[in-house]
Structure 1
Amino acid sequence: MHRPLSTFPRRRGAALLAILAFPLALAGCADNKPPRPATTTPVQAPVTTVTRLPQASTPATAAFAPVTSARPKVKYKAGEDPDFAERCGWPVKCPEPLPGAILPRKRIVAYYGNPQSKRMGVLGEFPKDEMLRRLKGEVARWEKADPGHPVQPALHLIAVVAQGTPGKAGKYRMVMPDEIVSQVYGWAREANALLFIDIQTGHDDIRTILPRFEWLLKNPDVHLGIDPEFNLIKSGKVPGTKIGTYDAADVNYVSGYLRDLVRKYHLPPKVLTVHRFTRNGVTNARSIVLRPEVQIVMNMDGWGAPWLKRDSYKDYVVAEPVQYTGFKLFYHNDTKKGDPLLTPQGVLRLHPKPLYIQYQ
């Protein structure tokens, strides 16, 4: 459930079923372009051009050197230029992976959604067996596209769903019953997949709600996602009417909490995904602390045409390096205007290559 990249405010997906009410589910590099004005008219994605010149002949042999033309220019689409990524600070210097770490050894391919709604994502759109079969097919496609990189399947469950009404707690969010969370965890284990629980806080505080999931996060195959879009406690706005935000301080709290769980229960490192598709979605990103016990993925969210998704990846993920990168693909919303869904081969042209792939 997120806003399109091509409009503002940006939003991801469609409305929830009635049972879930109203789901809501740069400082960058020196040459990074200024923010694009809000528009509903697509504009051509920028192209970065790198020119590689032929080696010059020495004066003694210049007269006898064959006449050659300059090598063809290398043209990159937005988000694909390795030189731009290097100027931004990629690869990031981060702690050496601890034993049992998933990244960067594997790539995670996840199905996102909630089993209580067919409109929040593929996880709930199809019956369990068909959903797992489709996930297995996507895993095979990614393994074929990048044979040298093993793929780890995952289910990404929206365990706390932002709401358009305050509810009994007055927090504009709904916590899924433990029975539903346990059910999806069972599905994940059946498919030898990881489980990510995703939290949309609404007007609640991540510091209050996260400890409620220790019972689940103490398992070695359960990881976490947080969604700045639906963190609206400071603005007081209703989810879906304004885009929320997390600061580095919030992300640091979450990663610190996960670090403590890893130490307490002697677990392998946790993966933390942070969705992002606007400039202010994560503030002070360069102040995010990297810890050996937690692997942070900045996941490029939002739906739209392929060129626009690449452009947003460049602006909001590549331009502000944290640790690892992710990329979200929408089966329906990315293609609703006739655009093709990006293929694994297309996504793998990005630089850095995303290590977390999410399908909604």
Structure 2
Amino acid sequence: MVQLENAPTQEEAEPEEPEATEEPEATEPGEPGEPVALPGGGTEVFAGNRFLVAYYGTGQTASMGVLGESPPDTMDRRLHRAAAPFRGPGRPLRHVYELIVTVADASPGPDGDYSHDIPREVVETYVRAAHRNDALLLLDVQPGRSSFPEVAKRWEWALRDPWVGLALDPEWRMGPRQVPGRTIGQVRAGEVNRTSAWLARLTREEGLPEKLFVLHQFRTDMVQDIGRVLDRRGLAMVQHVDGFGTPQQKRATYHAVAKPRQFTMGFKLFYDEDVRRMGPREVHALRPKARFVSFQ
């Protein structure tokens, strides 16, 4: 049986938070009067056969992924080392910070939606680091009992930045009586479409380059009616297949879930949970081809 990412547990200890560090000022993506471009140039995420490599996690804690194990600039250097073997002739890289900004909780919290937002100043730190280091920033949302559109709109201030995209994690999209960690969530195509329509409109109205729009999945029932998920001009639509285990288990999950005619494909690698973590050659050998890999 294929193991699942973040399998439900009864309870988890609260991780300790490392001390905050000072960050230098960020640079802007373009000079006044110039077209807004993505890191490395251009306005399309995957143009020029680019391959994306991300570190995944949340700020100020290592408990949810490698991204939070060190301050942003140190993390960026580690990401560059991890990404380098994925580069090849005619396959330039783009680096991505996938930051969980809305975190699912096992308790309802003050607003009763079983999730909380990380502090704005933490997100601002990663926005500045992304510009300083020529990386994309991907905001990952785990909405609990809220909907994806209402949570995404709370991050509009950050999504107005030309280098910031959005990732939806249906594992943590709960129904009215469900609790994160006790059940695997799911989302309907209509809710995905409402979220992407809002983001595409924001991108168009602000004159922004193409944005990453990522849909995480490791079971076929996590996105109901996935064939009805619409492509959106201005968004690079990615289906990111998660789930840990042996290479054989991970390939089986990938083949069961992948919808390459609808999406650009992504694939996740786990430092701790994978059994013999797949290397760049194995990832590049996946069919359908993956164009985005993230490390957790």
Report the TM range for the smaller structure's normalisation.
0.7 to 0.9
Separation of aligned partners in 1, 2:184 and 2:128: 33
User: Is residue 94 of structure 2 the alignment partner of residue 152 of structure 1?
Assistant: yes
User: Is residue 8 of structure 2 the alignment partner of residue 11 of structure 1?
Assistant: no
Separation of aligned partners in 1, 2:64 and 2:13: 6
Residue from 151, 154, 160 that aligns with 1:209: 151
User: Is residue 163 of structure 2 the alignment partner of residue 221 of structure 1?
Assistant: yes
1:42 corresponds in structure 2 to: none
Determine helix, strand or coil for the equivalent of 1:280: helix
2:278 corresponds in structure 1 to: 342
2:44 corresponds in structure 1 to: 101
* 1:200-223, Cα deviation, whole Å (9 max, x unpaired): 000112222211111110111000
Separation of aligned partners in 2, 1:112 and 1:133: 14
User: Is residue 118 of structure 2 the alignment partner of residue 166 of structure 1?
Assistant: no
Amino acid in structure 1 at the alignment position of 2:266: G
Amino acid in structure 2 at the alignment position of 1:204: S
Aligned alpha-carbon RMSD (Å): 1.9
Separation of aligned partners in 2, 1:301 and 1:164: 21
2:292 corresponds in structure 1 to: 356
Separation of aligned partners in 1, 2:65 and 2:13: 10
Structure 1 residue 356 displacement after superposition: 1.2
Structure 1 residue 116 displacement after superposition: 2.5
Moved over 4 A (4+): 13-16
1:323 corresponds in structure 2 to: 263
Amino acid in structure 2 at the alignment position of 1:314: H
Separation of aligned partners in 1, 2:131 and 2:178: 38
Task: Provide the TM-score with structure 1 as the length reference.
Answer: 0.71
Residue from 104, 123, 131 that aligns with 2:75: 131
Unaligned stretches of 5+ residues in structure 1:
21-98
The answer on whether the counterparts of 1:17 and 1:117 sit within 8 Å (CA) in structure 2 is no
Structure 1 residue 6 displacement after superposition: 2.6
The answer on whether the counterparts of 1:16 and 1:117 sit within 8 Å (CA) in structure 2 is no
Task: Provide the TM-score with structure 2 as the length reference.
Answer: 0.85
1:104–1:244 CA distance, 2 compared to 1 (3 A): farther
User: Is residue 100 of structure 2 the alignment partner of residue 178 of structure 1?
Assistant: no
Residue identity over aligned pairs, in percent, reads: 34
Structure 1 residue 123 displacement after superposition: 0.5
Residue from 60, 83, 97 that aligns with 1:116: 60
Structure 1 residue 141 displacement after superposition: 1.1
Structure 1 residue 16 displacement after superposition: 6.4
2:180 corresponds in structure 1 to: 239
* 1:82-133, Cα deviation, whole Å (9 max, x unpaired): xxxxxxxxxxxxxxxxx61112531111111012211110011234343221
Structure 1 residue 136 displacement after superposition: 0.8
The answer on whether the counterparts of 1:162 and 1:201 sit within 8 Å (CA) in structure 2 is yes
Separation of aligned partners in 2, 1:108 and 1:252: 24
* 1:140-196, Cα deviation, whole Å (9 max, x unpaired): 1111xx321111001000000000011111110011111011012122222210100
The answer on whether the counterparts of 2:107 and 2:114 sit within 8 Å (CA) in structure 1 is yes
Amino acid in structure 1 at the alignment position of 2:163: D
Separation of aligned partners in 2, 1:140 and 1:260: 35
Determine helix, strand or coil for the equivalent of 1:124: helix
The answer on whether the counterparts of 1:16 and 1:120 sit within 8 Å (CA) in structure 2 is no
* 1:223-273, Cα deviation, whole Å (9 max, x unpaired): 010100000034x21101100011111111111011101111001111111
The answer on whether the counterparts of 2:15 and 2:63 sit within 8 Å (CA) in structure 1 is no
1:44 corresponds in structure 2 to: none
Separation of aligned partners in 1, 2:175 and 2:13: 21
Separation of aligned partners in 1, 2:278 and 2:91: 19
* 1:20-40, Cα deviation, whole Å (9 max, x unpaired): 9xxxxxxxxxxxxxxxxxxxx
Question: Which protein has the larger Cα radius of gyration, Structure 1 or Structure 2?
Answer: 1
